[in-house]
Amino acid sequence: MLDQRRLPGEEISHTYTDYREVARAIREMVIAGASRHRRCRCQGVALGVLHSSANPSTIARRIFRKCCDVIAKTRPTPVDLFWALERMKSRIRRTHRAIFRPGQDQASPRRGSPAKSISKKKATDEAIGRYGAEFMPAKVKS
């Protein structure tokens, strides 16, 4: 992740391998901006689940929820930033029911991918950034 606090004078990147590191980076404003927060929160939760040694049932019920709770408490932000976390929670619940309670009527896990929705939002945010860049000075003092 690009350290937003160091811009525009320096470009310093950090690599995070744990959801708690991602949460700290958001709290400390290393990662700034609504679209970055949204993506980083989802990536942080994914890191937490990926590195968990728990069985699939525990991941769906406890580990995943714990990661979401830690990430969600990082900064008080507009509601739309929590939208992606809620979509992930819903998807995990449906998938968990499909795996551990087969035969129950539920929505297809393929419907409305959160990753696609996040990609669309990212494209919109980038387009806004390109438009706004026209109004930035050509050279910024550091």
Domain range holding 16?
4-133
Tens of pLDDT, residue by residue over 88-117, are 778 777 776 766 565 554 444 445 555 666
Half-sphere exposure of 59 (CA within 13 A, CB side): 18
DSSP state of 53: -
Q: Read off the tokens for 58.
A: 């525990």
Distance CA 19, CA 78 (A): 21
Is 138 a domain residue?
A: no
Tally of domains in the chain:
1
Is 140 a domain residue?
A: no
Residue range 12-36: average pLDDT? 87
Distance CA 41, CA 82 (A): 9
Is 139 a domain residue?
A: no
Residue 1's pLDDT is: 86
| CATH code of the domain containing 53 | 1.20.120.420
Tens of pLDDT, residue by residue over 72-92, are 888 766 566 677 777 777 877
Distance CA 86, CA 78 (A): 14
**C-alpha angle 2-4-74 in degrees, rounded to nearest 5:** 95
Is 142 a domain residue?
A: no
